[in-house]
A = this chain, B = another copy of it.
């Protein structure tokens, strides 16, 4: 018997965004969407094969609620997730296809109360590898054992269909590894993750000559503790020789899976959340990304404050305010987001 679930999430509201530099200011007042949770719909299924073994699959599509179009960041039909695999309570799960990396699964929610959500309040603003998706990936995750869970994935090409390698030529694909550990014991959670990708050595349109054959690495560590009246989060990470997720304002900054030989960025986050009444929660976080290797790069800081109010298990109202300076390491580039909205899951 296969059970198939049709699921999704919708998020929309009203907000104000401002980007300000030394010599310009740009503002946008209007509809916001996908802030609390990115808009998505998907299909998920599991079939019992006997002996505790299950065939599992998931496909997930992202879209923008303001236009109805596929998501600006994931224009593919099932750009958020597309895997098939096997799962066992004893042996863990094995998936092949496109999905998020281990850091998105284990690290993001531990490091910050905003996790990988809430737009510019996301921990991925400062932690390059905290929210990345890889194509062509084989991923294995253990079952939980004494509170521990371990996962490792290998991607034969991180972005797009895998290319043929010519005999005598270089490697045309971006090979990526993602791995990590998460630990949960009552109020304590901790996560340690590592990601790396290597840019092609073969001639490649996406990478200039000096960006080829570079191994980009990121490791990240985080812990959270729930004191019940408040929950504390903290995280630290390093990214070397490039950047995993996009970090751009306008045309400046770093593209997805970019290589910059010698770049050293240290990332920090501290966060706090506290329940307010029976249905409310206040969230706050401070993130820092310090580009230590670059003389003229400024340290990026973001300060975010959020509030969620649960109308039900599946529907939230939310408010968010976030301010970032030296965005994408650029002197005096500031970004502000203020918004209220509603998020509904089905």
A residues near B, CB below 8 A? 2, 4, 6, 8, 10-14, 17, 19, 24-31, 33, 39, 41, 43, 45, 47, 49, 53, 55, 57, 59, 61, 63-70, 72, 74, 76-86, 96-98, 135-138, 156-157, 160-167, 173, 311-312, 314-315, 341-342, 344, 346
The residue of chain B having its C-beta at the shortest distance from the C-beta of A133 within the complex is: B68
Q: Are B165 and A26 in contact (CB under 8 A)?
A: yes
Interchain CB contact (< 8 A) of A69 among B17, B79, B346 = B79
Interchain CB contact (< 8 A) of A63 among B53, B78, B80 = B78
Output the least CB separation between A339 and chain B (Å). Answer: 11
Q: Are A81 and B96 in contact (CB under 8 A)?
A: no
**Could you say which residues of chain B place their CB within 8 Å of the CB of A24?**
166-167
The main secondary structure of chain A at its interface with chain B is strand
15 additional contacts (CB under 8 A) given A6-B6, A43-B346, A68-B135: A10-B83, A12-B83, A12-B96, A26-B166, A27-B165, A27-B167, A28-B165, A31-B138, A59-B63, A65-B83, A66-B82, A67-B161, A69-B77, A72-B161, A77-B77
**Could you say which residues of chain B place their CB within 8 Å of the CB of A11?**
84
Interchain residue pairs with CB less than 8 A apart (11): A10-B57, A13-B96, A14-B96, A24-B167, A28-B164, A43-B346, A55-B311, A55-B312, A57-B344, A59-B68, A66-B162
**Could you say which residues of chain B place their CB within 8 Å of the CB of A72?**
161
Q: Are B98 and A68 in contact (CB under 8 A)?
A: yes
A76 to B156, CA, bound (A): 26
The residue of chain B having its C-beta at the shortest distance from the C-beta of A160 within the complex is: B67
The residue of chain B having its C-beta at the shortest distance from the C-beta of A44 within the complex is: B346
Output the least CB separation between A92 and chain B (Å). Answer: 16
**Could you say which residues of chain B place their CB within 8 Å of the CB of A81?**
68
Output the least CB separation between A81 and chain B (Å). Answer: 7
Output the least CB separation between A25 and chain B (Å). Answer: 4
Interchain CB contact (< 8 A) of A55 among B55, B86, B315 = B315
A260 to B173, CA, bound (A): 36
The residue of chain B having its C-beta at the shortest distance from the C-beta of A28 within the complex is: B164
**Could you say which residues of chain B place their CB within 8 Å of the CB of A160?**
67
Of residues A11, A84, A85, A314, which shows the largest number of chain B Cβ atoms within 10 Å of its Cβ? A84
**Could you say which residues of chain B place their CB within 8 Å of the CB of A47?**
312, 314-315, 344, 346
Q: Are A31 and B166 in contact (CB under 8 A)?
A: no
**Could you say which residues of chain B place their CB within 8 Å of the CB of A29?**
156
Q: Are B96 and A27 in contact (CB under 8 A)?
A: no
Q: Are A80 and B68 in contact (CB under 8 A)?
A: yes
- Given A2-B314, A49-B312, A96-B14; A135-B66 close (CB under 8 Å): yes
Interchain CB contact (< 8 A) of A164 among B17, B55, B78 = B17
The residue of chain B having its C-beta at the shortest distance from the C-beta of A86 within the complex is: B342
Q: Are A314 and B6 in contact (CB under 8 A)?
A: no
**Could you say which residues of chain B place their CB within 8 Å of the CB of A64?**
82, 161
Output the least CB separation between A28 and chain B (Å). Answer: 5
A24 to B164, CA, bound (A): 12
Of residues A29, A98, A157, which shows the largest number of chain B Cβ atoms within 10 Å of its Cβ? A98
Of residues A160, A165, A167, A315, which shows the largest number of chain B Cβ atoms within 10 Å of its Cβ? A315
